[in-house]
Structure 1
């Protein structure tokens, strides 16, 4: 599995170089839906990654933000779960908080996860049961035991969470979860329906670094589901996870209804 992870990392780095080469270019961009930007680089990377990754594991299914979902993936034991550019807003604004995100999911759980964040000079990788690293350095999550004072990547926090500490927030949710894996943040939470491709690779990184990672209700996350979605993600230092679930429970219940 380590050799496979190295091959995936090489493919992610190739995609990252292409994205960096075009970063300052004048390229087409549009909105798939209001507030949901995409650009021609997303689409080019999606095609590149699909070709490279499917050649690497031909019997895998495919789930990507920039591909029409083919439910045939549900019949596959292994599935590629890919976001060609996680954090497209930062990419379009010339900010570094974006990454190529690739996960190989097996029987509903990620077994290899890679993030390539070339604008930050970072390559993150994890193998199930084999730990997680960034630029070759082993990752360990923090040891915080009390929720008040916990560091949260956020531009601002609601009044009810004024006892938490905001820290720098990249647009990429995968990189924010990576901050928990690296001990640079203590808590990342979303309370909405979100796509599996946004979080699959980062969830494995955080798990392998020792973080507690669940959906917004504290339940186990599953991947390659029929909808390709989960309600929220909650990644924390393990000592505060139960406290975070309790604090967010009413907000999660209010938000889960579509």
Structure 2
């Protein structure tokens, strides 16, 4: 398997640039908030981060495509960088520190590099194909990540972002909750990182975009876990996501399929 050390280095530099912008704008009195056509919020920090990342990529990786939440783009057949400038924008604009910049490099449809940077938490997570997944706290030494060893849903911690997003499928998610030990709603990127760390065992998302999931997919899989959409396909662009420690994946899928 080819090394992606240079690409990971670029992704980490992109995260540094993003952190500088987001930390300066977090809880700013003059934060500008607009609504997109789908009624989700976007702040001046979201667009500033994506523009800064695109500028670096244009200089350092001019032949690569870019797909971003705010400026668009498409997932090509070759190398595509996928960027969510602020995952958890609602938290960001309300002053809740649970938000992060998500950066992934996809080759031939599969993530090969992923970085999740949450500066308000002082946390960063990263992974590259075949090289494992790691995290650091406040710039400290990296720690290699491993998923949990929980093998029964009855012992599992499960999380989603928002129960209301399940819509008509809500009874199936409630059935999964009933089968598990405890439920949480840590939401967005953080819950997937917690699966990679072994702190959560199952995360299910009924509605998600490619930029929400590309970076966390490789983080989970390089930690020894499993990641699919809710149909069971190992993809980040299927409109939904299921991340588990691997042992529980088929059992969780069986319940969610109904």
Q: Scaled by the length of structure 2, what TM-score is found?
A: 0.86
Counterpart for residue 234 of structure 1: 242
> Does structure 1 residue 64 correspond to structure 2 residue 68?
yes
Q: Report the 3-state secondary structure (helix = DSSP H, G, I; strand = E; otherwise coil) of the residue aligned with 1:119.
A: coil
Of residues 169, 179, 189 in structure 1, which corresponds to 2:204?
A: 189
SS across alignment from 1:144: coil
| TM-fit CA distance, 1:57 | 1.6
The structure 1 residue matched to 2:33, chosen from 10, 25, 29, is 29
Change (3 A) 1:159 1:111: closer
- TM-superposed deviation, 1:163: 3.8
Matches of residues 108-257 of structure 1 in structure 2 within 5 Å?
108-135=109-136, 136-154=142-160, 159-160=174-175, 161-164=177-180, 165-167=182-184, 169=186, 171=187, 173-192=188-207, 194-221=208-235, 229-250=237-258
Distance 2:154 2:39 in 1: 32
- C-alpha distance in structure 2 between counterparts of 1:4 and 1:200, whole Å: 15
Structure 1 pair 110/162, CA: closer, same or farther in 2 (3 Å)?
Answer: same
Deviation at 1:36, TM superposition (A): 1.0
Q: Which moved more, 1:86-95 or 1:5-14?
A: 5-14
Measure how far apart 1:155 and its partner are: 7.4
Q: How does 1:81-96 map to 2 (within 5 A)?
A: 81-96=82-97
Query: Using a 3 Å threshold, how does the CA distance of structure 1 residues 23 and 107 change in structure 2: closer, same or farther?
Result: same
Is 1:15 the counterpart of 2:18? The answer is yes
The alignment partner of 2:59 has SS state of helix
Structure 2, unmatched stretches of 5+, are 137-141, 164-172
- In structure 1, the residue corresponding to 2:247 is in which secondary structure? helix
What CA distance in whole angstroms lies between the structure 2 residues aligned with 1:217 and 1:101?
Answer: 24
For structure 1, the 5+ residue unaligned runs are 223-228, 251-258
Q: CA RMSD in A?
A: 1.8
CA distance in 2, matches of 1:177, 1:237: 10
Q: Deviations over 1:149-194 (max 9, x none)?
A: 311235787653234212361x4x22211110010100001123x2
- Equivalent position of 1:253 in the other structure: none
**Is this contact kept in 2: 1:214–1:221, CA < 8 A?**
yes
Which TM-score applies when normalising by structure 1? 0.86
SS in 1 for 2:238: strand
Deviations 1:194-235 (A, max 9, x none): 21000101100000000011110111216xxxxxx4131110
